[in-house]
């Protein structure tokens, strides 16, 4: 139990660090023009933690179990335990207990913390993107915010503002000089312009509304629109809300198929944690003088493939091509049956571990392929390393 907890905990922290590294580059890009970059970046990372924990926990449980059992196999502790009458199921109990605890944690993560964290992250990104002129304007640089591009020359001039209107073409404003001031009564930033021109270009590329001015100003933030309410996306709904919205009446913007497919996927991911020890323990068993580390590679490939298959089934259900449950639970039934057979063959039957059996099977297949090639092209047999080894023997 102690060995497994140390390994799984270390893998969770390692996976979190790796997953966050890539996202941090995007976060730094978002907060680069924020007035409080450290606070906004910290808030984004905190909101992302539940999402990345949901990815890291299954992988850490799978690899931590394989590594712990592999260590015990290599040091002959597993062989000694079997020789003392301790069953493989008894040796698996600590991993089952850990998986049950992680199921409870993942139920909270997937069902409640991830949706709220996802919405919180999007809200912070929206807030940061609603920059005031004080955060946007940088001397000697073009800065684009939404549909508007600003340029301020060195020393406050010249000023160039390029604004794309939704249905009215675009508007261009230029000025010889600009000064950024803050109104005392409201604290609102104002860009004071002097000696400039402003005109509009229609979608037909016709200039109209040209206006020359000695003094003008652009006030306020680029956009004061508040962020939308939570619930526009099924990934922002908690599991309780998804359950109540099975008929699509609570959140009408989300289709019934999309809602139910997301609910089934969350439940399947929690249930998968219970199955992982019964798959990972046989993968970690090693006997003989030349133990193999193939269990780690096979475990990673199997888990990633299963996760992608579940996501694909969820998408099919969300599009209405199949019932929402059909994209998830038949696959989980196959995984459950495979886990039972795999663990039963390792715990009850005498013989090689599953991966060793697979290795022997692949070796036999390779030999059969070579024999077929030599039968078709006999001249290759004389140059084969197998022929020299047989003659030496």
Write the DSSP string, 247-312.
Answer: TS-S-TTS-HHHHHHHHHHHHHHHHHHHHHHHHHHHHH---SSS---HHHHHHHHHHHHHHHHHHH
137 lies in the same domain as 119: no
315 lies in the same domain as 252: yes
**Count of domains in the chain?**
2
pLDDT digits (tens, 9 = 90+) for 313-329: 999 999 989 999 999 99
Please report the pLDDT score of residue 149 as a whole number.
80
More confident position, 201 or 96? 96
Q: Are 285 and 73 in contact (CB under 8 A)?
A: yes
* Residue 374 placed within a domain: no
Beta partners for residue 49, in sequence order:
none
- For residue 21, the SS3 value is helix
123 lies in the same domain as 268: yes
Work out whether strand 159-164 and strand 189-201 pair parallel, antiparallel, or are unpaired.
Answer: unpaired
Q: Which helix (H) or strand (E) holds 354?
A: helix 354-376
- For residue 145, the SS3 value is strand
117 lies in the same domain as 164: no
pLDDT, mean of residues 123-127: 82
Q: Which helix (H) or strand (E) holds 198?
A: strand 189-201
Please report the pLDDT score of residue 52 as a whole number.
93
Percent of the chain scored above 70 by pLDDT? 80
More confident position, 17 or 372? 17
More confident position, 125 or 35? 125
Neighbouring C-beta atoms of residue 256, cutoff 10 Å: 14
Residue keyed to tokens 């591009």: 149
Please report the pLDDT score of residue 325 as a whole number.
93
Query: Could you tell me the residue range of the domain that residue 206 belongs to?
Result: 133-219
pLDDT, mean of residues 108-112: 93
pLDDT, mean of residues 86-115: 93
Token pair for residue 303? 């888990």
Please report the pLDDT score of residue 60 as a whole number.
94
160 lies in the same domain as 272: no
* Residue 378 placed within a domain: no
Beta partners for residue 218, in sequence order:
191
* Residue 262 placed within a domain: yes
297 lies in the same domain as 246: yes
Reported confidence tier of residue 340, pLDDT bands at 50, 70, 90: very high
Q: Is the pLDDT of residue 350 over 80?
A: no
* Residue 391 placed within a domain: no
Rounded alpha-carbon distances, angstroms, from residue 89 to 74, 93, 273, 276, 338: 19, 6, 17, 14, 16
Write the DSSP string, 209-233: EEEEEEEEEEESBS--PPPPPS-SS
248 lies in the same domain as 318: yes
pLDDT digits (tens, 9 = 90+) for 173-221: 888 887 766 666 655 667 778 888 888 888 777 787 778 878 777 765 5
Most confident of 139-143, 247-251, 304-308, 380-384: 304-308
- Indicate the average pLDDT of the chain: 81
Q: Is the pLDDT of residue 356 over 70?
A: no
Residue keyed to tokens 């030599």: 374
Work out whether strand 148-152 and strand 189-201 pair parallel, antiparallel, or are unpaired.
Answer: unpaired
210 lies in the same domain as 173: yes
* Residue 386 placed within a domain: no
202 lies in the same domain as 56: no
30 lies in the same domain as 118: yes
324 lies in the same domain as 266: yes
Residue keyed to tokens 């694909």: 312
Please report the pLDDT score of residue 167 as a whole number.
67
Q: How far apart are CA 85 and CA 64, in angstroms?
A: 25
Q: Is the pLDDT of residue 388 over 60?
A: no
Token pair for residue 4? 């497994």
Percent of the chain scored above 90 by pLDDT? 34
19 lies in the same domain as 137: no
* Residue 95 placed within a domain: yes
Q: How far apart are CA 306 and CA 109, in angstroms?
A: 20
Nearest CA to 332 among 282, 284, 240, 264? 264
Reported confidence tier of residue 134, pLDDT bands at 50, 70, 90: low
């Amino acid at each position: 139990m102690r060995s497994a907890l140390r390994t799984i905990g270390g893998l969770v922290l390692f996976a979190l660090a790796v997953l966050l590294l890539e996202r941090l580059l995007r976060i730094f890009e978002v907060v680069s023009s924020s007035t409080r970059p450290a606070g906004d970046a910290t808030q984004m990372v905190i909101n992302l933690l539940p999402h990345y924990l949901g990815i890291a926990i299954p992988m850490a449980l799978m690899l931590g179990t394989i590594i712990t059992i592999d260590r015990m196999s290599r040091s002959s502790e597993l062989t000694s335990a079997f020789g003392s009458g301790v069953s493989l199921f008894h040796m698996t109990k600590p991993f089952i207990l850990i998986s049950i605890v992680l199921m409870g944690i993942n139920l909270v993560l997937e069902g409640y913390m991830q949706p709220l964290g996802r919405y919180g992250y999007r809200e912070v990104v929206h807030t940061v993107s609603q920059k005031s002129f004080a955060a946007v304007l940088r001397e000697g640089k073009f800065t684009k915010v939404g549909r508007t591009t600003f340029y301020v020359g060195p020393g406050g001039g010249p000023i160039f503002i390029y604004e794309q209107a939704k249905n009215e073409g675009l508007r261009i404003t230029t000025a010889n000089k600009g000064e950024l001031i803050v109104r005392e009564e409201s604290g609102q930033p104002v860009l004071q312009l002097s000696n400039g021109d402003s005109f509009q270009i229609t979608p037909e590329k016709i200039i109209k509304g040209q206006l020359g001015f000695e003094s003008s100003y652009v006030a306020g933030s680029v956009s004061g629109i508040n962020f939308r309410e939570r619930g526009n996306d099924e990934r922002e709904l908690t599991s309780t809300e998804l359950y109540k919205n099975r008929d699509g009446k609570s959140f009408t913007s989300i289709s019934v198929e999309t809602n139910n497919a997301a609910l089934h996927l969350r439940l399947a991911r929690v249930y998968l944690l219970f199955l992982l020890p019964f798959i990972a323990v046989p993968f970690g068993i090693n006997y003989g003088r030349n133990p193999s580390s193939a269990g780690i590679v096979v475990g990673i490939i199997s888990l990633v493939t299963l996760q992608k298959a579940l996501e694909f089934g969820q998408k099919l259900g969300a599009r209405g091509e199949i019932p929402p449950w059909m994209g998830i639970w038949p696959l989980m039934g196959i995984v459950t049956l495979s886990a039972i057979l795999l663990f039963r063959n390792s715990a009850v039957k005498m013989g090689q571990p599953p991966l060793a059996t697979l290795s022997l099977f692949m070796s036999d297949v390779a030999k059969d392929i070579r024999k077929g090639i030599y039968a078709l092209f006999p001249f290759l047999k004389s140059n084969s390393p197998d022929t020299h080894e047989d003659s030496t023997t």
